[in-house]
Amino acid sequence: MKNAALFSTFAALALTDAKVFFQNAGKIDGWNGKSHTKGTIQETNTIFFSNRPSLNFTQIYDPGYDSLYHAQLRVDHGYALNEERYYGFAFRLDKNWNFEPPVDYVLARFMGTFPSCDTTMPSTVLWLRGSKLWTQVVGGTSCDKEVVLYDLNQCAITKEKWHRVIIGASWKADKTGFLKIWFDGQEVLTKTNIKTTVSDQGSRKFEFTLGANMWGWYWQRDQYNPPRGATYTVYFDTITIADKKDEADPENCKHI
């Protein structure tokens, strides 16, 4: 009993020592802003991970619309060069979400601004392709990117179920970085000694964004055109950015 008590004390101290840089309990307030070209961003009290409310992002397909479908919230300081961060959140797909054909839908991504090459540039992205998860890292420079894709096919997504994600990264422009991803409590990706950001980042901060970005409806429109009015909804809750994995775990943040 004494050893168990000591372990609990040390575990609590470890969490206390962790730094939390951002935390949100499924509310629109508290973010640095939003990017919204199509779709809606709302709070809902009927579907939530731990406590009311959760964030509800909805996109409705419009065959007369010929641009990107973006509805997302952002944290301005997602990461800077040489930082180590952990990003945790819970998400749930609505029952009407269609997995076929397997085109791409972005759940979370990191965005930087590089006027000399790209107005905005994604680095690491987490997206759905059908019912599976994919991610990427970007090294090189903003004008000459080195993009590496990782297939997380062991992560099977179930509609109407809350899934937990933690992204851990050491943001390095040389081969000393890492990218790790946990899905529903299991570590499903571990890549070490890799480049995780571009070498010309300098003092720029990459934003961290969450939402419903329907890449496939625009970039893969030659493969898939949903029926008019097709409605896709994704819920997010218990979002945390911290410097320790356990502090970012949605299971440990149900009190927020």
Enclosing H/E stretch for 129: strand 118-129
User: In angstroms, rounded to a whole number, what is the distance separating the alpha carbons of residues 9 and 4?
Assistant: 9
Whole-Å CA distances, 255 to 50, 95, 162, 236: 8, 27, 17, 16
Q: Indicate whether 34 belongs to any domain.
A: yes
pLDDT beyond 60 at 75: yes
End-to-end CA distance of the chain: 30
Q: How many domains does the chain have?
A: 1
Query: Is residue 74 included in any domain, yes or no?
Result: yes
Instruction: Specify the DSSP class assigned to residue 214.
Output: -
Name the CA radius of gyration of the chain, rounded.
Answer: 18
Q: At 127, is the pLDDT very low, low, confident or very high (cuts 50, 70, 90)?
A: very high
Euclidean distance between CA atoms 223 and 79, whole angstroms: 34
SS (H, E, C) 195-255: CCCCCCCCCCCEEEEEEEECHHHHHCCCCCCCCCCCEEEEEEEEEEEECCHHHHCHHHCCC
What are the two backbone dihedrals, phi and then psi, of residue 123, each rounded to the nearest 5 degrees?
Answer: -105, -105
Q: What is the reported pLDDT for 11?
A: 47
pLDDT attached to residue 16: 57
Q: Which domain does 247 fall in, by range?
A: 18-252
Which contiguous run of DSSP H or E holds residue 10?
helix 2-17
Arithmetic mean of pLDDT, 171-175: 97
In a domain, 10, yes or no: no
Classify residue 53: in a domain, yes or no. Answer: yes
Closest C-alpha to 128, from 98, 97, 159, 107: 107
- Which pLDDT score is estimated for 154? 86
Identify whether 5 is part of a domain.
no
- Cα separation, 55 vs 58, whole angstroms: 10
Q: Which of 121, 118, 135, 145 is nearest to 199 (CA)?
A: 145
* Residue 227 DSSP class: P
* 21-to-73, 78, 242 alpha-carbon distances in Å: 16, 9, 6
Rounded average pLDDT over 150-169: 95
8 lies in some domain: no
pLDDT digits (tens, 9 = 90+) for 3-53: 444 444 444 444 557 899 999 999 999 999 998 889 999 999 999 998 999
> Which CATH number belongs to the domain containing residue 156 in this structure?
2.60.120.200
Per residue in 48-74, pLDDT (tens digit) is 998 999 999 999 999 889 899 999 999
What value does the mean pLDDT of the chain take? 91
Residue 166 reports pLDDT greater than 90: yes
Q: What pLDDT score was predicted for residue 94?
A: 97
Using the 8-state DSSP alphabet, how is residue 252 labeled? G
Domain assignment of residue 42, yes or no: yes
Q: Would the pLDDT of 99 be above 50?
A: yes
pLDDT of residue 17: 78
